[in-house]
């Protein structure tokens, strides 16, 4: 009789018993403060399933090591299963149910495959892409193998590609779904899994929760089909690249201006990511001939060696590009995040210094340019619209109103912008839309933020402004004079791990129980709670007609808007501040800017952040 399996099981049970009696551990060696926690039964159950299941021996050895030497990491790795948020599945790479690894990727894919089979009859097709991150090619291949083993036709890009091209490919190839492996702008230890539906947009309710339900039915990797479908996988490359670039080129509105100013000097960096050749290719198709790269950052590297964080929202990520621009005397600096869905733009101010535009400024400039040129070209007839998120500058709405363009406000997450586009197909025409977090979309061929197309249009906007005797800075200030000086601030508070998640939840509970009565000296006249769908304005309650979301907004008598929400993709709680003042002329810019900065600082102080 073979007793080896019994011995292994007994050994694992002894290890699990150690978890049960280990109720505290040292969390901070520097201060030597002990922090205690109770290890939930669910953590032990999840770890035991992986120890007994069909997982590789290296994974099991890692789990045993956590049990014996690092119970804290065990809790963080197994206390929950990764869930789809505003950006899909995203987490730190490692072993466990709460980590990104081939098993969580495979089980998520099996759940998605099961749901697709319930939702569609006949041949199901999916497209798959990945970015430059560590393990992204492995996770993409794992995703393809699982789909293929389930009899689903797979179109797999042969190498890294931007997220917007994946969205385009779904519609172009007639797919029912798609996946891109990326953690967008998150630090290098993260990876992610963005799932898309047939419209090319990220999955939303009820699909997102239904997919999770299917995933939760899978008790272990043994229930995942992973082999036998190799014939169902087709590799794709230029047959999608070329139509995608052609689509981007068709968005052009001012080819004559570009032709006159084609020597406009642009420095572009992909920050080691997927925009490395597609962004320059798009700019060249538009007619720009003087594009300067940053060689050190053209190297695809998931460790992002030249930056602390590959987030284009942070000025430090653009330092090398700005230095290069000053060296060569460039007019414009552009950057994309690792999966090239978010873009960053730096322009020269009236002193000749480069200033990084925030997401609201970029979205305002693009929206104005698009609406202005659409009207000048006779393309506006009252059936056009733009979309923004609830935490994005109200300036976009004022711009749209001034051109007779309809507008929609949606929850944070570009999937909600895609949903509005989908709902209005055949009725209204989408011009553009975006969110404060450096994401923008031009046209409706893609259903996610698209930095490739947005940067091409931004460069064209700069050429158009130059043709009209303006710099991009001049154009921005002119918008402040015309529509009001809108200024925004953002504070992100990071709370990592299980305890951090609980702290964030408690912060939202406290704000709901005790909302501020006034902010920066102005009384709060309206409270919007998107979780309860209630809006209270001057004591009168009404209903918010948007999906449920854990977001609070406070509006003051002077028009200030403060929004608070936990991030859907990172262990953070975010505070958004939006203030406004009239600006009579560009000469008063510095004075009014200082006043707005002081108001934002007062708001932060009032909220203790």
Q: How many helices (H) and strands (E) does the chain have?
A: 19, 25
Confirm whether 184 is a catalytic residue: yes
pLDDT for res 86: 52
428/467 same-domain check: yes
416/478 same-domain check: yes
Neighbours of 76 (CB within 10 A): 22
Assigned domain for 574 exists: yes
Query: What's the CA angle centered on 573, arms 569 and 579, to 5 degrees?
Result: 115
316/403 same-domain check: yes
Confidence of residue 538 (pLDDT cuts 50, 70, 90): confident
The answer to whether residue 467 scores a pLDDT higher than 60 is: yes
The answer to whether residue 67 scores a pLDDT higher than 50 is: yes
What is the separation, in whole angstroms, between the first and last Cα of the chain? 65
Q: What is the DSSP letter of 203?
A: P
The answer to whether residue 498 scores a pLDDT higher than 90 is: no
Q: Which of 212, 236, 260 finishes a domain?
A: 236
Calculate the dihedral angle through the C-alpha atoms of 209, 211, 212, 214, rounding to the nearest 10 degrees: 130
Mean per-residue pLDDT, 121-148: 98
Residues 460, 173: Cα–Cα separation, whole Å: 29
pLDDT for res 85: 57
What size, in residues, is the chain? 609
Neighbours of 315 (CB within 10 A): 13
495/587 same-domain check: yes
Q: Which of 30, 47, 79 finishes a domain?
A: 79
Condensed to tens digits (0 to 9), the pLDDT of residues 220-276 reads: 899 999 999 999 999 999 999 999 999 999 999 999 999 999 999 999 999 999 999
232/345 same-domain check: no
The encoded tokens of residue 119 equal 């939702």
Residues 108, 122: Cα–Cα separation, whole Å: 22
The answer to whether residue 7 scores a pLDDT higher than 50 is: no
Assigned domain for 242 exists: no
Confidence of residue 216 (pLDDT cuts 50, 70, 90): confident
pLDDT for res 549: 92
302/347 same-domain check: yes
Pairing, β 89-92 against β 190-197: antiparallel
Q: How many domains does the chain have?
A: 4
The answer to whether residue 513 scores a pLDDT higher than 50 is: yes
Residues 74, 574: Cα–Cα separation, whole Å: 28
Percent of the chain with pLDDT over 70: 92
Residues 484, 473: Cα–Cα separation, whole Å: 15
Assigned domain for 332 exists: yes
Say what angle helices 497-513 and 71-78 make with each other, to 10 degrees. Answer: 60
200/276 same-domain check: no
323/419 same-domain check: yes
Give one DSSP letter per residue of 137-196, joined into a string: HHHHHHHHHHHHHTT-EEEEESS---HHHHHHHHHHTT-SEEEEE--TTS-TTEEEEEEE
Assigned domain for 261 exists: yes
**Closest to 71 (Cα-Cα) out of 25, 137, 118, 17:** 25
Residue-wise over 398-414: b if at least 16 C-beta within 10 A, else e?
A: bbbeebebbbbbbbbbb
The answer to whether residue 21 scores a pLDDT higher than 50 is: no
Least confident interval from 146-160, 392-406, 486-500, 511-525: 486-500
Assigned domain for 107 exists: yes
Helix, strand, coil abundance in the chain, percent, nearest 5? 45, 25, 35
Contacts 24+ apart (CB under 8 A), 31-40: 37/72, 37/75, 37/499, 39/71, 39/74, 39/75, 40/75, 40/79
Residue-wise over 99-108: b if at least 16 C-beta within 10 A, else e?
A: bbbbbbbbbb
Assigned domain for 511 exists: yes
Assigned domain for 241 exists: no
Residues 296, 320: Cα–Cα separation, whole Å: 9
Assigned domain for 150 exists: yes
Mean per-residue pLDDT, 109-136: 97
For the chain, the average pLDDT equals 92
153/45 same-domain check: no
For 41, 151, 393, 578, the CA distances from 173, given in Å and listed in that order, are 46, 17, 35, 41
8 Å CB contact between 249 and 282: yes
162/225 same-domain check: yes
Q: Please identify which of the residues 184, 254, 445, 549 carries the catalytic annotation.
A: 184
Mean per-residue pLDDT, 64-88: 85
Beta-carbon-side half-sphere exposure of residue 330 (alpha carbons within 13 Å): 27
What residues have CB less than 8 Å from 295, skipping those under 6 apart? none
Structural domain range at position 432? 247-483
8 Å CB contact between 211 and 192: no
Give one DSSP letter per residue of 109-139, joined into a string: HHHHHHHHHHH--S--EEEEEE-SSTTHHHH
Mean per-residue pLDDT, 19-41: 43
Q: What is the DSSP letter of 39?
A: P
72/117 same-domain check: no
72/141 same-domain check: no
Neighbours of 370 (CB within 10 A): 27
Q: Which of 217, 236, 255 finishes a domain?
A: 236
Q: Which CATH number does the domain housing residue 261 bear? A: 3.40.120.10
Beta-carbon-side half-sphere exposure of residue 30 (alpha carbons within 13 Å): 0
Helices (H), 222-358: 238-250, 255-260, 278-286, 319-328
Taking the complete model, does pTM exceed 0.85, yes or no? yes
8 Å CB contact between 272 and 299: yes
């Amino acid at each position: 009789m073979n007793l080896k399996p019994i011995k292994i099981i007994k050994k694992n049970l002894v290890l699990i018993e150690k978890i049960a009696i280990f109720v505290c551990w040292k969390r901070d060696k520097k201060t030597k403060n002990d922090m205690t926690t109770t290890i939930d039964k669910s953590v032990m159950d999840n770890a035991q399933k992986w120890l007994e299941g069909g997982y590789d021996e290296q994974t099991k050895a890692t789990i045993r090591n956590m049990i014996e030497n690092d119970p804290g990491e065990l809790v963080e790795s197994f206390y929950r299963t990764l869930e789809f948020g505003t950006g899909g599945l995203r987490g730190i790479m490692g072993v466990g149910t709460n980590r990104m690894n081939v098993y969580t990727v495979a089980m998520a894919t099996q759940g998605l495959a099961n749901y697709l089979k319930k939702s569609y009859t006949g041949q199901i097709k999916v497209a798959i892409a990945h970015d430059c991150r560590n393990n992204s090619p492995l996770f993409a291949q794992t995703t393809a193998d699982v789909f293929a083993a389930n009899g689903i036709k797979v179109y797999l890009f042969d190498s890294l590609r931007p997220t917007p091209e994946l969205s385009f490919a779904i519609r172009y190839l007639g797919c029912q779904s798609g996946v891109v492996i990326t953690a967008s702008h998150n630090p290098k230890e993260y990876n992610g899994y963005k799932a898309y539906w047939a419209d090319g947009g990220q999955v939303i309710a009820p699909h997102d929760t239904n997919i999770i339900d299917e995933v939760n039915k899978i008790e272990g990797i043994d229930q995942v089909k992973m082999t036998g479908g190799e014939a169902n996988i087709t590799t794709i490359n230029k047959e999608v690249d070329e139509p995608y670039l052609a689509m981007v080129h068709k968005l052009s509105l001012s080819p004559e201006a570009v032709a006159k100013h084609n020597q406009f000097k642009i420095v572009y960096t992909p920050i080691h990511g997927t925009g490395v050749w597609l962004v320059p290719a798009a700019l060249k198709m538009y007619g720009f001939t003087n594009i300067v790269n940053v060689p050190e950052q053209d190297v695809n590297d998931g460790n992002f060696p030249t930056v602390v964080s590959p987030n284009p929202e942070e000025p430090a990520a653009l330092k090398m590009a700005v230095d290069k621009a000053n060296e060569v005397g460039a007019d414009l600096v552009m950057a994309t995040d690792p999966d090239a869905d978010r873009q960053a733009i730096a322009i020269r101010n009236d002193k000749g210094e480069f200033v990084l535009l925030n997401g609201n400024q970029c979205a305002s400039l693009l929206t104005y340019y698009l609406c202005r040129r659409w009207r000048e070209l006779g393309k506006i007839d009252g059936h056009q619209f733009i979309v923004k998120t609830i935490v994005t500058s109200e300036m976009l709405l004022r711009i749209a109103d001034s051109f007779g363009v309809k507008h929609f406000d949606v929850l944070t997450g570009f999937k909600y912008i895609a949903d509005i586009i989908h709902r209005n197909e055949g009725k209204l025409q989408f011009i553009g839309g975006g969110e404060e977090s450096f994401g923008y979309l031009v046209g409706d061929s893609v259903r996610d933020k698209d930095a490739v197309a947005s940067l091409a249009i931004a460069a064209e906007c700069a050429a158009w402004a130059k043709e009209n005797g303006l710099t991009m800075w001049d154009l921005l200030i002119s918008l402040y004079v015309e529509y009001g000086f809108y200024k925004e601030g953002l504070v992100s508070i990071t709370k990592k791990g299980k305890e951090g998640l609980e702290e964030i939840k408690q912060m939202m509970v406290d704000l709901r129980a005790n909302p501020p009565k006034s902010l920066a000296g102005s009384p709060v006249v309206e409270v919007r709670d998107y979780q309860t769908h209630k809006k209270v304005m001057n004591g009168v309650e009404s209903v918010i007609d948007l999906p449920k979301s854990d977001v609070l907004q406070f509006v003051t008598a002077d028009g200030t808007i403060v929004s608070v929400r936990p991030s859907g993709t990172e262990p953070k709680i975010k505070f958004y501040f939006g203030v406004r003042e009239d600006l009579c002329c560009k000469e008063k810019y510095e004075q009014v800017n200082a006043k707005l900065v002081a108001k934002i600082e007062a708001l932060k102080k009032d909220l203790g952040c």
